[in-house]
Amino acid sequence: MFVLLNKLRPARRLLGLVLPGWATLYAAAPALQLDPLTVASPRVANQAPGGTFAMPVSVLRYEPRVDLQARNLVEGQADLTVRGGTFESTGWSLGPISLGDPQTGHYLAELPVDPAMLTPPQLLVGAELALGPLNATAGGLRQDWRAVRAGGALRVGAGADGLRRAELRHAWFRPAGASGQGIGIEFSVARSVADGAVRYGDHEFDRANLRLQHRGPAGQTDLFSGYQGKRFGWPNLYTPFNSPEFENLQTRLTLLSHRQDRGADGGWEAAVFERRLKDDYAFNRFAPLGPVHPFQHTTWLRGAAARVHGRLQGFAYELKGEGQADRLRSTSLRFGPYASRALTRLALVVGREVSLERGGSFAVRGGLVHDDSNRDAGSLSPQLTLERSLAPGGFLQRLHVSATRATQLPSYTALASSASAGLFRGNPGLGRAAATTVEAGAAFRGAGWEGTAGAFARADRRLVDWTFRRGVTARTASPMDVDVAGFEAQVRRSWGRAAVIFGYTALTKDDTYREAGVDASFYALNYARHRATLAVQAQLGRDWVLSLDHAWRRQAPNLLRTVGGERALHGTLGLAYRPAAVPRLEVSLLLENLWDDRFQEIPAVPASPRQPSFSAVWRW
């Protein structure tokens, strides 16, 4: 351990950068290689949470370029933000389809999928967002289906506050034909219960998945069905009145997808899906309920998407089309202009790359994205990217600049809540929001370090935010104009027995809130002016692995925050025992919120205290 700390001493003089894409870290450090199915994200050290079973959202707390703001556990409810956006302006796609939530962006991360079935998340920003999730303006995430591999794992765990959890996953695969081809079946079940780290902070989570897969020559077809039930409480879950709030979320997802790779000639992918989410929220979990629950909402989201990429007469092209239809049934969201709608997107991006005499290449990509709806006028958004790849061997590897535009329609909670009564005041007049982003960035490599850095500016227009005025207890959905500027940097390095990643993000915002008579913002102005992340994995002896994640922030002032000030340090420490004599066994200890930081990630919502937990996994 002292050797590791001595080697890391020069890193303290760096600016705090981190990478996108850590896969080569493990290749360079064979002592730290993990089973690929255990890697939920290559940019964090601890791959599984301590407070419950793993969900796709679990590893995002320490993603260098993602800011996750949690209520209770991250897996309970967490708002996902990218580049200073809000929980509403971020998207999530699974293959070519978008899995946003039509009721509210609070439930964007409700994906009832075992993360072991998915590839690590890829962050999409700027020009990449044109072919990414539908109805997102700040950024998004994309994941794909992993190839089914025979085998499985059983994980059991326990921890403080009555935590008990268990996960079972198993897969069969029958080869047919050439290497990698065949038919596979995979199932996964998980359960977690706990009394909670604070009073009325208990949870009970369940998940069940079944996936069928066919792999043919350069192609893969997946049929998936998943269910997830989450019942959890937390004081001040959504309101600042110290009420024992409770939520019951039930999510169902059915999906069929196929992708085909034609090598140098390109490829294509297509998918259809249906997602149903039932949300039963209680302001006071002990209040008697009549036959009609006051805050019960069910949404249905159905859609299809297809994406094609290839080359034609020296030009590379990508074409994506997507359509979705949603429907809302609610006991309280009854004041909107409609309760169902259809969204469509058609995107075309064309590019050309030429080699340069002095080495490297120059590429230009341009495109158009058309977003439309039967409830709002359509919008056309241009995209332009210039990229310069430099000759190998130098410090700079790649430079790029881009200018893009994206639009979105509001969710039903903002659109259909009562405008004159209740704690959450809606706005039936909300329309299409738009964001224009310009950015410049570089990739570099030198002295054993590798990373990226870049700056961006985004003009959000008619961004939907929940605003607050002194003397008024209600919060209101308001269309606001916000200008965001930011800097992002990431760097990585690996040694023979250690790997490290640093990240740093700086944000600033100019807004019109004061002119509009608004005193505070729950979401758009709840952002970190400075945020730094650190991920370390180190081999200690032959059988032990130390994993350390940290996120430090300096938050913008917000008068709604009552505890924790403007600075926070959140850490997770993991220690795993992987005996060489029994390679299928792993025993680990995890300490969440290492420093017991009480910072309120969402104003007025109490932080989850320090929590130790223990787990054991057997793989076959």
pLDDT exceeds 90 at position 550 = yes
pLDDT exceeds 50 at position 28 = no
pLDDT exceeds 70 at position 11 = no
Residue 620 CB-density burial (10 A; 0-12 exposed, 13-18 middle, 19+ buried): exposed
User: What pLDDT is attached to residue 512?
Assistant: 79
38: confidence class by pLDDT, cuts 50, 70, 90: low
Instruction: Measure the CA–CA gap between 605 and 71, rounded to whole angstroms.
Output: 7
Whole-number average pLDDT of the chain: 90
Token pair for 227: 């269910």
User: What pLDDT is attached to residue 241?
Assistant: 84
User: What pLDDT is attached to residue 67?
Assistant: 94
User: What pLDDT is attached to residue 392?
Assistant: 83
Token pair for 254: 């059915």
SS3 at position 523: coil
Burial 81-120 (b: 16+ CB within 10 A, else e): bbbbbbbbbbbbbbbbbbbbbbbbbbbbbbbbbbbbbbbb
Instruction: Measure the CA–CA gap between 410 and 603, rounded to whole angstroms.
Output: 22
First to last CA, the chain: 31
Domains annotated on the chain, with CATH:
2-445+456-607 (2.40.170.20)
In sequence order, what E strands does 9-82 have? 66-71, 77-82
User: What pLDDT is attached to residue 518?
Assistant: 80
pLDDT exceeds 60 at position 29 = no
Q: Which of 151, 230, 161, 224 is nearest to 190 (CA)?
A: 230
The runs of H, that is alpha helices, within 48-178 are none
Give the count of alpha carbons within 13 A of 257, CB side only: 29
pLDDT digits (tens, 9 = 90+) for 389-447: 998 888 999 999 999 999 999 999 999 999 998 888 999 999 999 999 999 999 999 98
The sign of the dihedral angle between the CA atoms of 33, 539, 157, 54 is: negative
User: What pLDDT is attached to residue 35?
Assistant: 54
SS3 at position 341: strand
Q: Which of 547, 553, 537 is nearest to 592 (CA)?
A: 547
2: confidence class by pLDDT, cuts 50, 70, 90: very low
Average pLDDT over residues 586-608: 93
User: What pLDDT is attached to residue 72?
Assistant: 85
User: What pLDDT is attached to residue 36?
Assistant: 55
Q: Look at 39-48, 56-65, 71-80, 352-361 and tell me which has the smallest mean pLDDT.
A: 39-48
374: confidence class by pLDDT, cuts 50, 70, 90: very high
User: What pLDDT is attached to residue 175?
Assistant: 92
Average pLDDT over residues 212-223: 95
Q: Look at 25-29, 353-357, 520-524, 585-589 and tell me which has the smallest mean pLDDT.
A: 25-29
- For the chain, count helices (H), then strands (E): 3, 30
370: confidence class by pLDDT, cuts 50, 70, 90: very high
Pick 599 or 473 by higher pLDDT.
599
User: What pLDDT is attached to residue 562?
Assistant: 81
Distances (CA, A) of 32 to 83, 110, 576: 31, 31, 12
The residues near 611 (Cβ < 8 Å, ≥ 6 apart) are 50, 51, 159, 160, 161, 163, 197, 591, 592, 593
pLDDT exceeds 60 at position 4 = no
pLDDT digits (tens, 9 = 90+) for 490-509: 999 988 889 999 999 999 99
Instruction: Measure the CA–CA gap between 64 and 552, rounded to whole angstroms.
Output: 11
Pick 300 or 22 by higher pLDDT.
300
pLDDT exceeds 50 at position 13 = no
pLDDT exceeds 80 at position 33 = no
pLDDT exceeds 60 at position 165 = yes
pLDDT exceeds 90 at position 557 = no
